[in-house]
Structure 1
Amino acid sequence: MPVKVSVGFRTLTACAAAVIVLWGTRQLSAIVAPAFLALTLTIAVSPLRDRLRGWAAAFVPLAVILLALCALGAAMVVSVARFVALVPRYADQYRRLLSSVGTALRDLGVDQSQIRNALSGIDPDRIVRAAQSLLSGFAGTVSAVVVTILVLYGMSLDAVVFRRTTGALVAQRPDLVTALRGFARDTCSYLVVCTVFGLIVAVLDTAVLALLGVPLPLLWGLLSFITNYIPNVGFVIGLVPPAVLALLDSGVATMVWVVVAYCVLNFVIQSVIQPKFAGQSAHLSVTVTMLSLFVWTWALGALGAILAVPLSSFARAVLLDADPATAWASPLVTGTDPGHKR
């Protein structure tokens, strides 16, 4: 006589398994993160691959990805190098700012010893050292880049025959094939949405910062573009550096204008308009998207924050959509009507 297992026990077992898998993912983050980045980039150029034949279907999309990565990497290195050269100019302003903060706190009745303890760990020279370590840290990403390129090369070759392979599996595993195709389609749509909105935000931010006279507007525009792939809180991460630099360079008024401009442009576009399109394209609810950011950042670091939505979309496809026994839970993750057809 078969033993009936309660839903609660199955749920508890699934949660325990998820914790183990996430812990293992964190231990292997140096491999998992670049590999999934390669998968995401391979999916991103799938529309181009579908229009090509023969060897061109494998190597042209690969060349497009590599050129885009090289251009982005070169822009980041040049921008950060300029930032490293610029930062030492603001060491005196930074010290005066800390002194004025200490004076304001003392006027509010805060104990002077507490002020010294709070400000003692804030060394203005650390800004310079942090900027220099960031530039030198690019060398530490060589291993991740090598892993990404190697996996990307293999996936680009395999992607040519993947469609035929999945087509042959339709009769045997229709739910799995449908889930994988849905994941690829959703990921491609999500990347298109984030890229379009990211370009819009980057252009607007760069123009505003240039008009306000904030140094290195192109760097902060590039930062806005990259952080646009981080759901919900990306604009806050992109706001802090230019706002602080505006404060040091031109004073409080310019910093306030930067904050206002970012709140109007970035918050409205990235946190109000874009999530509606991004959530619909990835088929993840707002709550799941936010939780995904925390979970995958913990497991994979900064790259996990950027890939949080595709990673969760992949987990949903494999763990829920691919199995008829668990497909009922998919609407709880997507936040859609159970009768809705994608």
Structure 2
Amino acid sequence: MVEQSKPLLYFLVGIASVFIIIAGIRNLAFILNPILLSLVITITLLPLPAWFAKRGIPGWLSLVLTFLVVLAMIGLVLLIIFVGLAQLDEVLPTLRQTATSGAAAVTDPQGNVMGVQVTDITRTIEDFVASQRFTNVATAVISALFVGLSQAFLVMLIFAFMLSSALALPSSIRLGLRADHPLLKQAATLTEDVRRYITLTTALNFLVGIGNTILLLALGVDLALLWGLLSAFMGYIPAVGFWIAMIPPLLLAFVGDGPVVALLVFAGYVLINGTVENLVKPRMLGRELKISPAVVVIALFVWGWLLGAVGAILSTPLTLLILSILEGFDSSRWITVLLRTAGTGEVANTAEQQAAFGRVRGLWDRGVAVVRGDRPKPPDEG
């Protein structure tokens, strides 16, 4: 009887351990977020000091130049944001007048458009934009921006220490590990996957941001550069990022230029962003990183729930890190086989896939046996 109860005990202990780890991650999110963000930035920019070093620049100077490049990029982004906010402050007083005239142009005397009562909806949007509530929202956004800047300072500080440590890591590793040690190969694969994802996503986001900016400029929507930058940044959040980025220019177009322009903004965003998110990006992720789009979406909600906004942005890099770690152990490699996708038929390994599915069937049989109180069969190792 005691022997039969052991599998159930192990199962319950495992489930309890998972919940304890999840609770710990959620409660420590304010500590983990800057560390994880700094880690991903370090992995992404690690080749830059090496590029400087190949051109004869000393190691300490290459580190300083890398840090200055990052600061310059952040400064450029902040400049665009502050200029956009200043322009927004100038645009707000004229929005109510243009919104009122635009609404009058498309409504009949009864306030209907194509038989639908929309006067109240339009008036609500107008009043919100022109009222103190909109100012309060804008103030809250600016306050959140300054809080983010303080967090960014912490991230940059951690990044500086991580980058300097990473540059010294190869020489220290060689003191204790062979050059062909499996751990070094696994670490190289891990960092390369994350770097490839960030590079790929950044390139696509840059193109999407340019496309959205051109679209908004062509339609005459105010602050096109700011909204293009927002769409490029929100592109790091899979699946839902571009929907969030579309809301400000869509509302601004509706209030300032009317429903027709707003409809064109919506159609253009769906065409540009939808093509990248649903066609280009999944195909490139499948070919370059061997990761399923379904896993990307699930990871978005899981990491977003655990770590908040930073978790949503880093959901795919964190998932790639975990997959790389799992691939380093024979007992957990079958999990990565299930979560990854071949993307192209060149790297598909049917034997591994069959073994992974066999392992899942074995675990299912063990779970059923535990629930029934039977003596479980050994798991199918494939």
Counterpart mapping for 1:167-186 below 5 A = 167=174, 170-171=177-178, 174-186=181-193
Q: Deviation string for 1:165-221 (max 9, x for gaps)?
A: 445565599444333221210111111111111111111111111010011100111
Q: Give the corresponding residue for 1:243.
A: 250
Question: 2:333 matched to 1:333?
Answer: no
> How far off is 1:151 after superposition?
0.6
Q: Deviation string for 1:107-132 (max 9, x for gaps)?
A: 889xxxxx99xx79x95532232112
> How far off is 1:143 after superposition?
3.3
1:13 and 1:174 map into 2 onto residues whose CA distance is 34
Query: Which one has a bigger Cα radius of gyration?
Result: 2
**Identical pairs, percent:** 25
Query: Any stretches of 5+ residues in structure 2 without a counterpart?
Result: 343-347, 353-382
Among candidates 167, 171, 188, match of residue 164 of structure 1: 171
1:173 and 1:219 map into 2 onto residues whose CA distance is 48
CA contact (8 A) 2:98 2:257 kept: no
Q: Give the corresponding residue for 1:58.
A: 63
Among candidates 252, 263, 288, match of residue 256 of structure 1: 263
Normalization by structure 2: what TM-score?
0.74
Q: What secondary structure does 1:55 align onto?
A: helix
Among candidates 304, 315, 323, match of residue 308 of structure 1: 315
Q: Give the corresponding residue for 1:215.
A: 222
Q: Give the corresponding residue for 1:23.
A: 23
Q: What secondary structure does 2:238 align onto?
A: coil
CA contact (8 A) 2:286 2:341 kept: no
CA contact (8 A) 2:99 2:258 kept: no
Specify whether residues 13 and 291 from structure 1 end up closer, same or farther in structure 2 by C-alpha distance, changes over 3 A only.
Answer: farther
Question: 2:78 matched to 1:73?
Answer: yes
> How far off is 1:296 after superposition?
1.6
2:96 and 2:307 map into 1 onto residues whose CA distance is 34
CA contact (8 A) 1:44 1:188 kept: yes
Q: Give the corresponding residue for 2:42.
A: 42
Shifted more, 256-265 versus 72-81: the winner is 72-81
- The total of aligned residue pairs comes to 328
Shifted more, 32-41 versus 321-330: the winner is 321-330
Q: Give the corresponding residue for 2:283.
A: 276
Q: Give the corresponding residue for 1:204.
A: 211
Q: Deviation string for 1:261-305 (max 9, x for gaps)?
A: 111111102332112213444443212110111122222222222
Q: Give the corresponding residue for 1:87.
A: 92
Q: In the alignment, residue 34 of structure 2 is paired with which amino acid? A: P
Shifted more, 297-306 versus 47-56: the winner is 47-56
Q: Give the corresponding residue for 2:365.
A: none
Q: Give the corresponding residue for 1:155.
A: 162
Q: Give the corresponding residue for 1:229.
A: 236
Specify whether residues 181 and 237 from structure 1 end up closer, same or farther in structure 2 by C-alpha distance, changes over 3 A only.
Answer: same
Among candidates 304, 327, 335, match of residue 321 of structure 1: 327
Question: 2:285 matched to 1:286?
Answer: no
Shifted more, 162-171 versus 227-236: the winner is 162-171
Q: Give the corresponding residue for 1:112.
A: none
Specify whether residues 216 and 21 from structure 1 end up closer, same or farther in structure 2 by C-alpha distance, changes over 3 A only.
Answer: same
Specify whether residues 90 and 16 from structure 1 end up closer, same or farther in structure 2 by C-alpha distance, changes over 3 A only.
Answer: farther
Specify whether residues 238 and 96 from structure 1 end up closer, same or farther in structure 2 by C-alpha distance, changes over 3 A only.
Answer: same
2:300 and 2:154 map into 1 onto residues whose CA distance is 23
2:233 and 2:217 map into 1 onto residues whose CA distance is 19
Q: What secondary structure does 2:170 align onto?
A: helix
> How far off is 1:93 after superposition?
6.7
